[in-house]
A and B are shown apart, each in its own frame.
Chain A
Amino acid sequence: MNKALAVALLDWRRLGFTLASAALVAGLVPALASGLGVKVEATTILTVVLALVGVAAGGYFGSDFAEGRSSFFFARPLPTGTLIAGRFIGLLLLAAGAFLSFTASYWLSSRGAADFQWRILTPSHAEVLGIAWALSLFMGLAVAVRSRGERSASGWRIMVMFPLRLGVSLGAFILVFGLFADLVLRAYSNDITPIRLFARSWVVASLVASCVAIAGGRTERLRIWRLQSLVMMAHFTLMAVVVLAGWSYVLHPGANAIQGVAHPVWGSPDGRFAYVTTKVGRGDGLSLRPVFIVDIASGQAQRLNADPNQGPWTSADGGSMVWSEATPFFFRPLWRYVGGATSFRVRTASGEVAPLPMPSKLPDYFTARDLSSFAGVVDRVLPSPGGDVFAILWDRHLTFTSRSRGELSDVNLGPGRFGVRQVAFLPSGHLRAALYRRDASGAPSLDLVDFDPNSGSMKTVVSMKVESPARVQLDGQAARALITSVTRAGRGATMSLVDFDSASGAVLSSVLLSDVLFPSAIFLADGRIGATSGGSAGAWNKRTLRIFTPAGQMVRDIPIGEGTAPRLGSEMFPGVLGVSTTSFTEELGLIDIESGAIMRRLPGFHSPGNPWNSPPAGSPAARLLQSSDGKLYELPSLTAEPRRLLPRSP
Chain B
Amino acid sequence: MGGHRRRSVKARILSCVVLALFIVAMAGCSGSSETLILATTTSVHDSGLLEELLPDFEEKENATVQVLAVGTGQALAIGERGDADIILVHAKAREEAFVADGFGKERFDLMYNSFVILGPASDPAGIGGTGSASEAFTRLTAELPDAGSSFVSRGDESGTHSRELSMWEAAGIDPAGDWYRSTGQGMGSTLTVANEFQAYTISDIGTYLSRQEQLDLQVLSGDDPLLFNPYGVIPINPDRHPDVNYDLATKLVEWLTSFETQERISEFGVAEFGQSLFTADSEEWRASNP
The answer to whether A and B belong to the same complex is no
Q: Hey, which bits of chain A sit against chain B, CB under 8 A?
A: none
